């Protein structure tokens, strides 16, 4: 349980856009103490209660499971990992493994790759998916072109042969809807609908679904 608490503390803190220093100030401890907690040290029931109260999160959410994965199954990270490339952009018509703009590498659990599954990362540049995903975050995607599998998930989608876009993906008998999570904005982000003819003709293609978010806040 201590392992889950540490992972979830770091994840929830970053979701709140809080630094370790910010959280430490609220609780009344040093930043180094929060760092210890996030590394699985000096964890007590009293400390856990203080953190849960400061972040306004029920204590079971800290202890029950690893919260760091946005889509699909919740999986505990272990030491057996593999590195995947993080891309700045994705070019139309080019397989993921052939993309040239690799800007970084991140680790994922090797368990995820069972059955030949492949993954890639993307660096978030805009705020259309805020506050869940913010500029600077790295999102790990499971490669797939299965639109049914991607239904109702945060997905990387290629439209009309341009660079990939990242939106909430929904499909029904009428067509496909791509929805930004940041609908209350001044940047003109709106929901886009493509009918079946457009989906097939443009085309609208799913490239991958989000499996993990890595924040740049430490």
d(CA 128, CA 131): 9
Q: Are the beta carbons of 140 and 192 closer than 8 angstroms?
A: no
Identify the active-site residue in 6, 128, 130, 215: 128
- Report the top-level CATH class of 81-214: mainly beta
Helices 45-55 & 2-15, crossing angle to 10 degrees? 20
On the question of a common fold for 2-63 and 81-214, the answer reads: no
Tokens of 166: 């990242």
d(CA 109, CA 17): 25
Q: What's the topology of domain 2-63?
A: 434 Repressor (Amino-terminal Domain) (1.10.260)
Residue 46: per-residue pLDDT:
79
Is 117 an active-site residue? no
Nearest to 216, CA basis, from 4, 15, 21: 15
Residue 69: per-residue pLDDT:
46
Residue boundaries of the structural domains of the chain:
2-63, 81-214
pLDDT, tens digit only, all 218 positions of the chain: 456 677 778 877 876 778 889 888 988 888 989 888 888 787 777 778 888 888 777 666 566 544 444 453 334 444 578 899 998 877 655 666 666 678 889 888 888 888 889 999 988 887 888 878 888 888 899 999 998 889 989 999 988 776 678 899 999 999 999 998 887 767 778 899 999 999 999 889 999 999 888 775 44
Q: Are the beta carbons of 153 and 210 closer than 8 angstroms?
A: yes
User: Is this model's pTM higher than 0.75 or not?
Assistant: no
Q: Are the beta carbons of 119 and 108 closer than 8 angstroms?
A: yes
Is 167 an active-site residue? yes
Identify the active-site residue in 153, 167, 213, 215: 167
């Amino acid at each position: 349980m201590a392992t889950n608490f540490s992972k979830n503390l770091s994840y929830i803190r970053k979701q709140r856009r809080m630094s370790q220093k910010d959280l430490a100030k609220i609780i009344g401890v040093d930043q180094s103490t929060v760092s210890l907690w996030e590394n699985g040290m000096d964890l007590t029931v009293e400390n856990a209660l203080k953190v849960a109260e400061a972040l306004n999160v029920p204590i079971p959410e800290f202890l029950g499971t690893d919260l760091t994965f946005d889509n699909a199954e919740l999986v505990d990270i272990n030491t057996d990992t593999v590195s995947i490339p993080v891309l700045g952009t994705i070019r139309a018509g080019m397989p993921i493994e052939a993309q040239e703009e690799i800007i970084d590498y991140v680790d994922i659990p090797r368990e995820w790759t069972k059955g030949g599954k492949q993954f890639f990362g993307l660096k978030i540049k805009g705020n259309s998916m805020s506050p869940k995903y913010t500029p600077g975050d790295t999102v790990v995607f499971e490669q797939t072109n299965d639109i049914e599998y991607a239904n109702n998930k945060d997905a990387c989608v290629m439209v009309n042969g341009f660079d990939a876009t990242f939106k909430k993906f929904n499909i029904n008998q009428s067509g496909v809807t791509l929805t930004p999570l940041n609908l209350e904005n001044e940047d003109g982000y709106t929901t886009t609908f493509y009918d079946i003819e457009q989906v097939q003709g443009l085309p609208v293609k799913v490239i991958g679904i989000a499996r993990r978010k890595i924040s740049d806040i430490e």
